[in-house]
Structure 1
Amino acid sequence: QCLRSDLNLLEPHQVSAVDAIVDRHLSALAPGDADVLGVDEWRDGLRRGFAAHHAGLLPTFRQAVEELFVEGLVQVVFATETLALGINMPARSVVLERLVKYNGEAHVDLTPGEYTQLTGRAGRRGIDVEGHAVVVWTPEVAPDRVAGLAGARTFPLRSSFAPEYNMAMNLIDRLGVDGSRDLLRRSFAQFQTDRSVVGQARQLDRARMTLRKVDAELEHSAERKGLAPESFLEYVSLREDIRRHERAAKFVRRMEASDAVSEDLLSLKPGNVIGLNNGRHRGLALVLERAAMDVDPKPLVLSEDGWTGRVGVRDFVNPPEVLGHLRIPKSANRRSAQGRRELVKLIRSSGIARPRGRNKKKRELSEHDLRLTELRNRLRKHPVHKLNGIDDLHRLSERRHRLLRDIDSLERAVDERTAALETEFDAITGVLTELSYLETDDSGELVVTPTGAVLRRIYSESDLLVAECIRAGIWDRLSPPDLAAVVSSMVYESRRDSYSGGVDSMPGDRALRESLLATVDVWQATNDVQERHGVVQTREPDTGFCIAIGAWASGRSLREALLAASERGQLLSPGDFVRWNRQVIDLLEQIRGSVDPDTGLAVAAARAVKGVKRGVVASELD
């Protein structure tokens, strides 16, 4: 809006100073990238005294804005919180449009610490007597909430420390298992955890004391009514057993239904027509692409209202029924609006009737169903079942049951949290031992194996998966651009609202697709091991950036690389493009340094780094 207006905040003599600073910052950029980067529009704003500052900008652009702002040549900056992080850029006034921020997963409220960090930029030392922080009013903003944010003076520290595979390998190599556990026990994260257990331990003591009182009251009341307390508690136990088995039977029925839906989804083939009857999209749907994985299969479908997306178990109450089959024309391009319209027309003119419902398959009785029948018979025959006037006993027994449940929960919580980091560390070492990264020596101590030496040099969120792929040799014969593409799946994270398509539908050579499929297989096998040991599973490889970085590493232009990303549903700003490339370069360098320098993988990694580290990416790394 400011660019479209006549707003100008600078004097003529200041404009030349802006041009000089901008030219200096842009000197390393290739002239051919100017149009793609929007240099002219960006410069126009700077020459009129205003600019944007956010993580999606190229670092070169952000640095230029910061220098101009400090020099007083940019009067207004439209910024995200990046402007407040580690940069000495005070302003006369700070305006917050909303008290909400996006943390990468969801929109969450600002904390007092974040509010102070943002508004702390208001007031220039030595220039302003005071600074002003303005919060734009909306019906959702309560004045007392703003006052609470502004008035907070203490900001609690929260440790985010947690053991990881690479960390465990390096700790054990240097300190041994006992030394590693001792270090974890002395960490700030464990200190915070131990402090939080104190309140739960007090709750546990109070619950045990209350249980003793309830037991005494229950015994006294039962004896007054001529009942043996043991007989009444036996009756209560029968009722609780029935409730537990009812819940278990319900869970089994739900799992059986989910398995049936999953099995049918996995069997769907392109051209099958099914019915959607749950959620926003109802009616007929054409299967475009088979489910890629056996676990939680999600075939790609096109509904008759024009929606394209993947459907899974949660989208069906009953297993999907194949209502018919249509031949998908080779000329129909589902990625284009015209192609989707042609396919929708094909569905609507097929004459296939919508489903009217599907009878559920008759299921066999589970062991819980059989056990329920037995327990209900025993309950009806119990002498307490036909007694009247024992409502007070039932109320006491219900209270007793709740107390027992609370005590059990508190005991487990205290046990788990008292040694939370050690427990997590032991689970991780269990995974590493099963995968032969650690082994027991003659003295009974865990030591790092030669295979584990590779994992010690990989510092990544997907460190274990990267090491497993290197060991499996599935990346050994890839070309440098394809290696960069596969490695990008280890670091890249697509936006939640974007869809990059399955591996099978990915353009490019066969070697890349086969390597990505093999990588997914290794990921699934690794997750099976992690699940057995109760460790948080490694995230799934994300192919959203593969084609873009493959094109860039092959020598294609920035415009072509960004276009390749958009065709896979990834709308990247130039700044995001550079940021993801830098992360891929970092991981490629780690891979190169973790294997023998004479291997094909090391050579390909070095060449991939050279192919990626050019143009706008290289200028931001220098």
Structure 2
Amino acid sequence: MDSALTRFAAGYDFPLDDFQRRACEYLDDEAGVLVAAPTGSGKTVVGEYATFLALETGRKCFYTTPIKALSNQKFHDLVDRYGADQVGLLTGDLSVNSEAPIVVMTTEVLRNMIYASSRTLEGLGWVVMDEVHYLADRFRGPVWEEVILGLAESVRLVCLSATVSNAEEFGEWLAEVRGDIRIVVSETRPVPLTQHVAVSRRIIDLFAPDQPGDVNPELVRIAREEARFQRDDSRRPRGRNGKGRRSVSYGSGRFGGATSRQDRNGPEHRGPRNSPSRSQVVRSLRQAGLLPAIIFVFSRTGCDAAVSQLMNSDVVLTNGAEADRLREIAERHGAGLSPEERAALGWDRFLAAFCRGIAAHHAGLLPVTKAIVEEGFVTGLLKVVVATETLALGINMPARTVVIERLVKYNGQTHADITPGEYTQLTGRAGRRGIDVQGHAVVCWQPGMDPRAVAGLASRRTYPLRSAFAPTYNMAVNLVASMGRQRAARLLEHSFAQFQTDRRLGGSTASHRRKDEEAIAEYLAAAHCDRGDFTEYAGMRERVSQLEAEQARLRRGARDAEVADSLSALDPGDIIAVPSGPHRGWAVIVDPGTRGGHRDRGSRPHPLAMVEGRSVLRLGDGDIDSPVRRYAGVRIPAHFHPRDAAARKILGRSLDDAVAQLPELPERPARATVDAELADQIADLRSRIRSHPCHSCPDRETHARFAERGMALRRSTDQAVQRDARRSGSIAARFDRICLVLEALGYLTEGGAEVTEQGRMLARIYSELDLVTAEAVREGVLSGLDTPQLAAVLSTLVFESRPADRRRPSWLPDHTCEQAVTRLRSVRARVGRLERDHRLERPRDLDVGFAEEIYAWAAGAGLEVVLADGMSAGDFVRQARQVADLAGQIAAAGVDQELARGCRRVLNAVQRGVVSMSGEDD
């Protein structure tokens, strides 16, 4: 039978699997489809069938991906299949054949097209959403839901996801908001996976060969021997104090832990006898025929260190012919790099390792370097790639073997065990379809490891999909502009986030509340008093406690917010009066402590300062317990470092000279007085309590214990009811609060019915600090700056320091930039106060950590200059592109012509050299 599916399947050199054929047949039925299947199973075939149907029927198909690298890869795949005239590409900064019947794009581009009612959407029949599990990503995830909710009803969705444990729940929501959606779930890996543990120089099966599911007895024996050895060893004196050194574990300790800082940073040490070094692991893999391999190391530094350690060993994984072919790949991609750029990138070291079959892959690499590594690995010439876990969520790079060095990683706050979902994602790369009969996952032995816990982790396949959706200012003005406020609010009530919230609130809550009511009645009965109404008496006592707590909370909350705002307005060189603590006195700010993160959502900035006496330290909450202000200012020496005695001396003299011109140190501010109205209420209640009949009861406190338990349970029950009510409309409620802020600032008309001219400008700005950016434009903060200065100031709106970099002080390049950023901080503080009043999270701090680098680059400096302070090439390119992207958004947002020209100059100044080279990053 000559059907469309038959003709499509004939184009592949392998027969379609059952799940692929079933999903394609659903598309023939004009239904949408959700396909959840393991990595490498070939679910993209279903997406490709949608592109085939588009060409067959004369309709369009958009193939969307979460990152540019995936879009570029898919574009080339489809061009090879259908020809360049049939396929287009849109990635925000790149447009190729955009009116083609098949267009590959990032999800953000499609979102923007929907809001703009682009004519390109005409004739659209299918949208493929590849890697749709990115919906759980905090930054990219909300865009997926905007697209799913915003597409026309006639468009059919083809959602391709990694295996998730709640695929049915996700599919049920899709069917609710998109109509006919069929679910296809495949749990079968195309290449079976075998689990191993690397112990010293051996690779040992995790499960017993003759009894599948049982832990290998040999690993259990090794664990017991190690435990006995450690107990005996701990009794032996170590060091001068004669004490034993115990192992320090991270995470739960089930998967083992390092014994020292050196051990944690790199296992190329003799260390515990069972823990293999990196070179031992690679040699064992080569001997067992398990290359090529991806070795996952959960830090960029660890990846680079691993490559260096392998280079310092005698490991060579390629022959002469393979090395020559790898060199050709590297030189072809790197042809556009100048000698200076190659020197800055350490090209010779990279090339030497690459030609030996070894390379690193992480976000700190230059995109062109990533492209080299990826091509070398896909061709099978590169034998070992040491990567961070981001590779597991990125482009298609399967290997015969995946090695996980440690089952514990730093999650930004603490060392924690990796989850079963993360383990599934990582090991999903093992096994190349059509090449390997078996894929292999290898976990490296760590001291204290429990092989049973590792087996449990390897056996579970729990990877739930959780929505990260939340309305933003940009989203709000776009929705109001396209459908009005009321319709937009109703649309948001149908988000996956709200769907999951409503599902969690269902179930047996009613029965729980009935039991609570019965318990409350029993407690109040036990509190009965013959002298009067004890429930009334206990209620007054409770109210006093509530009012006193409210009194303290209001006083503390207001003070903390004022302190946070005052600290956020500080710049390097500002002289302040430290109001409290052992460092009370004059101080000069070295680093305001406002770099990166979402600190003010959980804590306030802690500035680095030089205090009187020449000490340089972080000022804590105990030092600054009331708002501070700038009294004067001095210049911080260029590249000041707290450990440099000469630099401290220079800055100390500047501080002394400035303080000599100031009045006496101000008196320590008195704490806010108690609110008079609350104080009157408390006094009145205390008087009524003393005159109540139950106050003189000899069993008063016994009755009180029962009454307090009943009221505590009542309070808990009432709070649960209120919490459930809030959650049941949480998305729409947040949207309403956002609209109120936008009304107050003039981005929406009164009542929020329409978008104003300023709101249309905000609708074109897709930054995390979108509202702060728009307010800065309105107030002229970005006007009057030259190109490098504007680039530096824009960088503070998009850059966010990595946790490891936030201790390094950073400066703004010149006084004009400092003034602009001071104004920008004032804008941010004002927006934050308005958000606080409307019960919204305040915006994150500005981050000056990239200002010097982008200033230098926009001024024409070379790569070796901007990387001199230690920033990685990949981070620089990615952050530079973000600055360029924001500049482009502002230029196209309907701002005044002078600012638009300035932003276009920034765009041109930044997009040069390695920043403009091919090899798109995410």
TM-score (norm 2): 0.57
Alignment of 1:19-418 (within 5 A): 19-103=327-411, 107-139=415-447, 141-199=449-507, 202-203=508-509, 206-212=512-518, 214-215=520-521, 218-219=524-525, 222=528, 226-228=530-532, 231-248=533-550, 250-251=552-553, 287-289=587-589, 300-302=608-610, 308-315=616-623, 334-335=640-641, 337-340=644-647, 342=649, 367=676, 372=682, 375-389=685-699, 393-418=703-728
Secondary structure, counterpart of 1:157 in structure 2: coil
Q: Which has the higher helix share?
A: 1
Question: For the residues of structure 2 that align with 1:433 and 1:610, how far apart are their CA atoms?
Answer: 35
Deviations 1:3-43 (A, max 9, x none): 22222111122211111111111112222211100000001
Question: For the residues of structure 1 that align with 2:807 and 2:310, how far apart are their CA atoms?
Answer: 33
Q: What is residue 592 of structure 1 aligned with on the other side?
A: 891
Question: For the residues of structure 1 that align with 2:793 and 2:565, how far apart are their CA atoms?
Answer: 30
Look up the equivalent residue of 2:715 and give its one-letter code: R
Decide whether the 8 Å contact of 1:207 with 1:403 is kept in 2: no
Q: What is residue 792 of structure 2 aligned with on the other side?
A: 485
Deviation at residue 555 of structure 1 after TM alignment: 0.7
Q: What is residue 324 of structure 1 aligned with on the other side?
A: none
Pairing partner for 1:533 from 830, 838, 846:
838
Q: What is residue 561 of structure 1 aligned with on the other side?
A: 866
Pairing partner for 1:475 from 777, 782, 791:
782
Deviations 1:76-124 (A, max 9, x none): 1111113222333222322212223455666544232221111122223
Secondary structure, counterpart of 1:125 in structure 2: coil
Decide whether the 8 Å contact of 1:305 with 1:344 is kept in 2: no
Deviations 1:287-335 (A, max 9, x none): 2238979996866423699863441434468999xxxxxx999989843
Q: What is residue 812 of structure 2 aligned with on the other side?
A: 506
Question: For the residues of structure 2 that align with 1:554 and 1:383, how far apart are their CA atoms?
Answer: 81
Deviations 1:217-237 (A, max 9, x none): 744873xx6344xx2112212
Decide whether the 8 Å contact of 1:286 with 1:301 is kept in 2: no
Instruction: Give structure 2 stretches of 5+ with no counterpart.
Output: 1-308, 595-599, 655-666
Decide whether the 8 Å contact of 2:480 with 2:754 is kept in 1: yes
Alignment CA distance shift 1:263-1:146 (3 Å): closer
Secondary structure, counterpart of 1:95 in structure 2: strand
Q: What is residue 911 of structure 2 aligned with on the other side?
A: 613
Alignment CA distance shift 1:157-1:305 (3 Å): farther
Alignment CA distance shift 1:599-1:41 (3 Å): same
Decide whether the 8 Å contact of 2:323 with 2:356 is kept in 1: yes
Deviation at residue 547 of structure 1 after TM alignment: 1.6
Alignment CA distance shift 1:600-1:313 (3 Å): same
Question: For the residues of structure 1 that align with 2:479 and 2:335, how far apart are their CA atoms?
Answer: 45
Question: For the residues of structure 2 that align with 1:26 and 1:318, how far apart are their CA atoms?
Answer: 55
Alignment CA distance shift 1:236-1:141 (3 Å): farther
Alignment CA distance shift 1:136-1:298 (3 Å): closer
Question: For the residues of structure 1 that align with 2:887 and 2:745, how far apart are their CA atoms?
Answer: 23
Alignment CA distance shift 1:25-1:432 (3 Å): same
Secondary structure, counterpart of 1:128 in structure 2: coil
Question: For the residues of structure 1 that align with 2:861 and 2:635, how far apart are their CA atoms?
Answer: 32
Look up the equivalent residue of 2:884 and give its one-letter code: I
Alignment CA distance shift 1:478-1:53 (3 Å): same
Deviation at residue 516 of structure 1 after TM alignment: 1.8
Q: What is residue 86 of structure 2 aligned with on the other side?
A: none
State yes or no: 1:577 paired with 2:883: no
Deviation at residue 340 of structure 1 after TM alignment: 4.9
State yes or no: 1:455 paired with 2:455: no
Question: For the residues of structure 2 that align with 1:338 and 1:378, how far apart are their CA atoms?
Answer: 65
Question: For the residues of structure 1 that align with 2:748 and 2:692, how far apart are their CA atoms?
Answer: 57
Deviation at residue 58 of structure 1 after TM alignment: 0.8
**Greater CA drift, 580-589 or 105-114:** 105-114
Look up the equivalent residue of 1:473 and give its one-letter code: G
Alignment CA distance shift 1:158-1:107 (3 Å): same
Alignment CA distance shift 1:500-1:512 (3 Å): farther
Question: For the residues of structure 1 that align with 2:431 and 2:704, how far apart are their CA atoms?
Answer: 67
Question: For the residues of structure 1 that align with 2:637 and 2:519, how far apart are their CA atoms?
Answer: 78
Look up the equivalent residue of 1:606 and give its one-letter code: R
Secondary structure, counterpart of 1:114 in structure 2: helix
Secondary structure, counterpart of 2:892 in structure 1: helix
Alignment CA distance shift 1:283-1:485 (3 Å): closer
Decide whether the 8 Å contact of 2:588 with 2:611 is kept in 1: no
State yes or no: 1:550 paired with 2:855: yes
Decide whether the 8 Å contact of 2:589 with 2:610 is kept in 1: no
Look up the equivalent residue of 1:232 and give its one-letter code: F
**Greater CA drift, 140-149 or 366-375:** 366-375
Alignment CA distance shift 1:93-1:560 (3 Å): same
Deviation at residue 212 of structure 1 after TM alignment: 4.7
Decide whether the 8 Å contact of 2:370 with 2:919 is kept in 1: no
State yes or no: 1:434 paired with 2:434: no
Alignment CA distance shift 1:318-1:139 (3 Å): farther
Look up the equivalent residue of 1:7 and give its one-letter code: V
**Greater CA drift, 234-243 or 377-386:** 377-386
Question: For the residues of structure 2 that align with 1:51 and 1:433, how far apart are their CA atoms?
Answer: 53
Q: What is residue 350 of structure 1 aligned with on the other side?
A: none
TM-score (norm 1): 0.82
Alignment CA distance shift 1:132-1:11 (3 Å): same
Alignment CA distance shift 1:76-1:305 (3 Å): farther
Question: For the residues of structure 1 that align with 2:756 and 2:432, how far apart are their CA atoms?
Answer: 57
* Identity, % of aligned positions: 39
